[in-house]
Structure 1
Amino acid sequence: MNWYFHVLKNYAVFRGRARRKEYWYFFLTNVVISIVLAFLDNAMGNPGAGEGAGALGTVYSLAILIPSIAVGVRRLHDTGRNGWWMLLGLIPLVGALILLYFFVLDSQPGSNEYGLNPKDIDSDSVGQFKV
């Protein structure tokens, strides 16, 4: 959960780099929360719950939209790519697969134009995110 809150604290930070661990723990936590909210929407009979767009899930999706884009941009920076590559996600299926490939790549070694490699930074100086 620390990685999830770390991304939320950097709500709209589009500069810098994000490790794979930061991106994927945030992604996994969002999937789990979305599933729980979908069950709650169905149980409460919220409008749109049958189509996957219940009130709780929709509000949550809107709340994490900007942090999700920001961590995606930082993840692309970590692989040495510009954040504008996120626009590939607008291309159905192919764009998502290309972004998935970029997101699973290892960090670019050393520093790049977006900053120091997060793996090279001492974990203790970042906080309690040492895993």
Structure 2
Amino acid sequence: MNENQRVGMFRALQLFFKNYANFTGRSKRSEYWWMFLWNLIVGVVAIVAVIGVLATVGFAFNPSHIPGSVFGALLGVIVVVFIVGLAVLVPSIALAARRYRDAGISPWWLLVTMLLANILSASDQFINGSMSNTLVMIGGVLGIVHLVICALKSKPEEA
């Protein structure tokens, strides 16, 4: 891709799925952040769909009874969200690896900034007390480090 060529919203979506499992090469900041926005939009739509299903029967006000049709609709929304999440998992990791390389950082750092961050952030499910809070905080900091790396300017390619 040309050094000065900008990637728009729909071109980023196209490149995201075209490079589904391409962990080599580089990706511009605009490509990463447009896909970040796409994923955010899809996530908000999913949350609104879940809230909409629950609100249609007043579940928020009477959680003791969920009619079968609402349960089915809610389960359907959750299954779709799960499938979409699985469908974008590999290309999201591949895009992050390319973005790290473009910023001059080894893609192996993804293991720390994404995998370890997610493990530590979920540690409160398994560990109680102040240690859990500390691990969750470290996971959050690693997540911020990931976002900072993805925001770095592109480094010139080495010959």
TM-score (norm 2): 0.62
- Choose the corresponding residue for 1:30, options 36, 39, 45: 39
Aligned residue for 1:16? 25
Give the AA of the match of 2:41. V
> When the two structures are aligned, how many residues end up with a matched partner?
108
Larger radius of gyration between Structure 1 and Structure 2: 2
Q: Measure the CA separation in 2 of the matches of 1:34 and 1:5.
A: 19
Aligned residue for 1:47? 75
Aligned residue for 1:60? 84
Give the AA of the match of 2:36. F
Deviation at 1:37, TM superposition (A): 2.4
TM-score (norm 1): 0.74
Q: Which moved more, 1:63-72 or 1:27-36?
A: 27-36
Give the AA of the match of 1:67. P
The structure with the largest helix share of the pair is 2
Alignment of 1:1-131 (within 5 A): 1-42=10-51, 43=53, 45-47=73-75, 54-88=78-112, 89=114, 90-91=116-117, 92-108=139-155, 110-112=156-158
Q: Measure the CA separation in 1 of the matches of 2:75 and 2:158.
A: 47
Contact in 2 for aligned 1:79/1:106 (Cα 8 Å): yes
Contact in 2 for aligned 1:41/1:56 (Cα 8 Å): no
Query: Where does the alignment leave 5 or more consecutive residues of structure 1 unmatched?
Result: 114-131
Query: Where does the alignment leave 5 or more consecutive residues of structure 2 unmatched?
Result: 1-9, 54-69, 118-138
RMSD: 1.9
Q: Measure the CA separation in 1 of the matches of 2:103 and 2:44.
A: 30
Contact in 2 for aligned 1:41/1:57 (Cα 8 Å): no
Deviation at 1:7, TM superposition (A): 1.1
Aligned residue for 2:127? none
Contact in 2 for aligned 1:80/1:112 (Cα 8 Å): no
Q: Measure the CA separation in 1 of the matches of 2:157 and 2:141.
A: 30
Deviation at 1:78, TM superposition (A): 0.3
User: Which contiguous aligned blocks of 4+ residues in structure 1 show a shift greater than 3 angstroms?
Assistant: none
Deviation at 1:70, TM superposition (A): 0.3
Q: Measure the CA separation in 2 of the matches of 1:38 and 1:55.
A: 13
Contact in 2 for aligned 1:41/1:55 (Cα 8 Å): no
Give identity over the alignment, percent.
32
